[in-house]
């Protein structure tokens, strides 16, 4: 498997890490928060309030992008109203409904092309994994590092909720499949709390094929097997808010999709970015 071509990197990016040494001074790494959302009207205001609180406590003003996957419940309208009230720099990226995987891929590529930040953060819009858990990261000196959340019952004085037996079964199945088929050893590939170095976004998300639930595992396999990027786990606590949108049938579908990822690796289809046709979308500011 070939490594990443330097031409795949976005040369505009500032080397990452936090803090970053620059001209003899330490600088906090900048982050663009990308929130994929589908029908999250009941929870999006709480999520934005959590972000506003964190921004105020840490004196940051990072870009926030709501990547809406064709919501029909007023998610965009509620988010816009809340962002104005909270004085948050929210931008809207709207797509036709295609699923989380495609929304994340196209949003990450779009935001990477239009911002100068160090990292792109994938943060679920339901506030089950609050942005404040960024403080749990032990930042690496290697600017290429990807950070992924690993849900635990307790960390840094924060108490979390363990998944239901069904979700544990599904997670165990995914963990086994990702280990056997993709060689991944991470226990929680599906956690919706991840940070990617922006200067590798094009190389990483441009290689994504999957449009189903296994896209997280696919991205991690691309990162480690093709791009040779280091991955660091971050302990986070999970507070479920509402019913899960993933059903038991997802185990079978995901297993078949994971098999497809393994086949594509064997065929060398991840060696170069696919450069998929951009989806129809609209990026605007609130």
Residue 89 located in a structural domain: yes
Give tens-digit pLDDT for 236-260.
998 877 655 555 566 677 778 999 9
In a domain, 11, yes or no: no
Query: Residue 274 pLDDT more than 60?
Result: yes
* Residue 2 within any structural domain of the chain: no
Domain assignment present for 25: no
Does a structural domain hold residue 135?
yes
Residue 113: inside a domain: yes
| Residue 274 domain-assigned (yes or no) | no
Mean pLDDT for 171-200 is 88
> What is the DSSP secondary-structure string of the chain?
-----GGGS-TTSPP--SSEEETTEEEPPPEEEEEEESS-TTTHHHHHHHHHHHHHHHT----EEEEEES-SSSHHHHHHHHHHHHT--EEEEEE-S--HHHHHHHHHHHHHHH---SEEEEE-TTSSS-GGGGGG----S-TT-EEEEEEESEETTEE--PPPHHHHHHHHHHHHHHHHHH----S-TT-SEEEEEGGGHHHHHTT----STTHHHHHHHIIIIIS---EEEEEEE----S--S--TTHHHHHHHHHHHHHHHHHTTTTSS---PPPPPEEEEE-
Residue-range definition of the domain harbouring residue 191: 31-267
Q: Taking all residues of the chain, what is their mean pLDDT, rounded to a whole number?
A: 84
Q: What percent of the chain has pLDDT over 70?
A: 76
pLDDT of residue 256: 87
Number of folded domains that form the chain: 1
The CATH number that applies at residue 48 is 3.90.550.10
What does the pLDDT read at residue 41? 97
Q: Residue 52 above 90 pLDDT? A: yes
Q: Give the tens place of pLDDT for each residue, 117-160.
A: 999 999 999 999 999 999 999 999 999 999 999 988 766 656 56
pLDDT-above-90 percentage for the chain: 63
């Amino acid at each position: 498997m070939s490594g990443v071509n330097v031409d795949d990197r976005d040369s505009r990016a500032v080397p990452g890490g936090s803090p970053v040494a620059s001209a003899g001074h330490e600088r906090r790494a900048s982050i663009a928060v990308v929130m994929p959302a589908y029908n999250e009207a009941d929870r999006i205001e709480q999520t934005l309030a959590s972000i506003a609180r964190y921004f105020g406590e840490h004196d940051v003003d990072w870009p926030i992008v709501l990547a809406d996957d064709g919501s029909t419940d007023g998610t965009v309208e509620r988010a816009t109203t809340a962002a104005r009230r909270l004085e948050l720099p929210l931008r809207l990226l709207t797509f036709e409904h295609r699923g989380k995987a495609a929304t994340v891929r196209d949003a990450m590529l779009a935001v990477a092309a239009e911002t100068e930040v160090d990292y792109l953060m994938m943060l679920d819009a339901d506030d089950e994994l609050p942005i404040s858990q960024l403080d749990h990261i032990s930042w690496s000196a290697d600017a290429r590092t990807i950070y992924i959340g690993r849900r635990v019952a307790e960390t840094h004085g924060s108490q979390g909720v363990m998944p239901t037996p069904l979700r544990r079964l599904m997670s165990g199945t995914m963990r086994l499949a990702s280990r056997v088929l993709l060689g991944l050893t991470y226990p929680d590939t599906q956690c919706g709390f991840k940070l990617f170095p922006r200067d590798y976004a094009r190389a990483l998300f441009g290689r994504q094929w999957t449009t189903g639930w296994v896209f997280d595992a696919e991205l991690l396999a691309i990162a480690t097997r093709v791009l040779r990027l280091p991955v660091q786990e971050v302990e986070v606590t999970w507070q479920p808010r509402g019913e899960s949108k993933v059903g038991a049938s997802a185990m079978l579908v995901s297993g078949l999709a994971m098999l497809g990822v393994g086949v594509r690796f064997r065929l060398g289809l991840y060696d170069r970015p696919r450069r998929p046709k951009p989806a129809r979308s609209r990026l605007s500011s609130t």
